[in-house]
Amino acid sequence: MNCSKKSDQSNWQSNLQKRGVRADSSGYMPGLDGLRALAVFAVIAYHLKLTWAPGGLLGVSLFFVLSGYLITNILLKQWERSGSIDLKDFWLRRARRLLPALFLMLAGVMLWVMLCAPERLAALKPEALAAVFYTSNWYLIFHQVSYFESFGPPSPLGHLWSLAVEEQFYLFWPLLLGWGLRCFRQRKWLIGGTVAVTLASAAAMAMIYIPGHDPSRVYYGTDTRVFALLVGALLAMVWPSGKMTADLSGKKRLALDGAGSLGLLVVLLMIGKTSQYQTSLYQGGLLLFSVAAACLVAVLSHPASYLGQFFGWGPLRWLGGCSYGIYLWHYPVIILTNPVVNTEGLNLSLTLGQIALSITLAALSRYLIEDPIRYGRRKRVRRRAPALQWWQRPLAHSTKITVSMVLMFLLVFVSPDEGMETSAKAIAESQVTTEQAQAQTPGTVKEDSAAKGELAEADKKSDIKGEDITVIGDSLMINVEPALQEHLPGIVIDAQIGRQMHQAPDVMAKLQKEGELGNIVIIELGSNGAFTEKQLMQTLDSLQGTTEIVLVNTRVPKPWETVVNETLSKVAESYPKTRLIDWYSASSGHGDYFYSDGVHLTQTGVEAYGELLIEALISNQNDKHKSCYNNKKTKG
């Protein structure tokens, strides 16, 4: 048995040496690089809106747990060696690791926007500034509350909030940990205090989060996300890498890999089954995921783990080594190369190209910028540098950093403001002008005459009265209101920019009190955010006196689109008086229906939407007439 153990350990070390990794390198755990690869590709899948990974955003939590573990592990080793934590050395190492790649990405994005989309530069500058100072998460919290900013083009820097959370942790955690190590000689008190802060952070998330409302505050907040980093820190306190040995018995090794496999299963299931708008995620789900991730990290960091050797496979390890750069570059690449309006669904060739470009940029960043600054690769040419001409000599690290900071300053502060992002408010306010211009243009009248003729013909065949219909909607219904008023005179339309489902019961109560709630109620809500099944059911239950309820699903280039449509479909099936109109499918392949935000409708889209609603109402009325006729015939 001992010979077998020694043989396994020898093979493990030999394999690492063949792949260019020293088995005795300080703190290096190859399996964790493979886990980084899993985390970054989960995030990419989420941002590509791949349906099989709705919980890909949990890849960020994986990174948090990993960071908390590795950073605390480093700090505890330093304390054990010297009895103190060298804060200056720690922060300088973090800066050399993180800043060069960040500055390169920011400079590249700002330069691309300045050359190719200057109208977006004004809105991007404050985000770049927030990224430089690692405050992106709080910037998002305080600037995405307004609906009018939510439907412009997505920001290519929106993913940097997670780096801000980590950097804030790197700034304060060494101070707190050093204080705790000095004050508490017994490690159990330090562990107990960290557990308390971890639970307090998770509890804050659960208490602040309101189901069916925008989760940005709890999703981006440092105070409500730090528990994932602290879970990793706790793991480092009870499972330090320096005290692990590859000399484990068969049963212990089997138990180790069994625990790791269970953690991996939970991680993969939650990535495949959860979504950003699932209530349970904020009421303990993210804490559960962090614990499962910590279990997986514990096993992958152990030299005796077969699972760790699998995750330490060469290609996975290389991708994990590039994961920071891949994370930095993938989102700008996706945002800046996606079509402005996409009603066609997944474009496989574009998706593969975006992934390949992200990896390529990350590799170039790693080998040309990050590693030379981080490890001092220029030492190799130091001996022959004096013999070279000045233009042949490699740049000093300080020069590279200075040049990158000057470039960032020029791009953020000196480049001209060329405009503002498109907003939902601007689009809504432009509708009247657009419709007036189209009415005065003969060519436009000819193009729309066929659609209007079809609506007029439908009107003649139907005896639906506008007075019987009430519509409750958001800004999309503001666009459609003129068309519905024309073909259904007397229809009551209550639409408001930014309205969400949780506001609907109050709107209905007000309309009922004023005597304006018709027998047929159409609900068009979901463009501005997700809602729970419970909230939708409460809305429908408040319409007991109506004869028919019509729900309209949504097409919106936002993460909540799938959640909204699935909730509407599921609930509509369980309510007998309720039917669903599938605007999402009807608008598929029709980019001409939408303005550049992919939500609000052009005149062509307005006519198509109105026709869809009226045809659905007529079809349902005809079905009722047939049912009534058959009942009479049966009784006769």
Distance CA(208)–CA(590), nearest Å, equals: 40
Q: How far is the CA of 333 from the CAs of 71, 99, 158, in angstroms? A: 29, 19, 12
Count how many residues are written for the chain.
636
Distance CA(467)–CA(100), nearest Å, equals: 64
- Which of 97, 125, 132 has the alpha carbon at shortest distance from 111? 125
Q: Is 601 helix (H, G, I), strand (E, B) or coil?
A: strand
Dump the DSSP string for 392-420: TSPPPHHHHHHHHHHHHHIIIIISPP---
Task: Report residue 105 as tokens.
Answer: 């990405």
Q: How far is the CA of 395 from the CAs of 101, 260, 383, 390, 407, in angstroms? A: 17, 45, 15, 10, 16
Q: Specify whether 302 is catalytic.
A: no
CB 500 within 8 A of CB 212: yes
Query: What's the angle, vertex CA 105, arms to CA 99 and CA 107, rounded to 5?
Result: 100
Choose, from 216, 475, 527, 587, the residue flagged as catalytic: 475
Residue 347: how many CB atoms within 10 A of its CB? 13
**Residue 469: strand pairing partners:** 520
- Which of 278, 336, 316, 323 has the alpha carbon at shortest distance from 120? 336
Distance CA(568)–CA(570), nearest Å, equals: 6
Choose, from 47, 302, 330, 600, the residue flagged as catalytic: 600
Q: Is 221 helix (H, G, I), strand (E, B) or coil?
A: coil
Q: Specify whether 569 is catalytic.
A: no
Q: Is 25 exposed, middle or buried (0-12, 13-18, 19+ CB in 10 A)?
A: exposed
DSSP state, residue 144: S
Q: Specify whether 597 is catalytic.
A: yes
Q: Which residues are catalytic?
A: 475, 597, 600
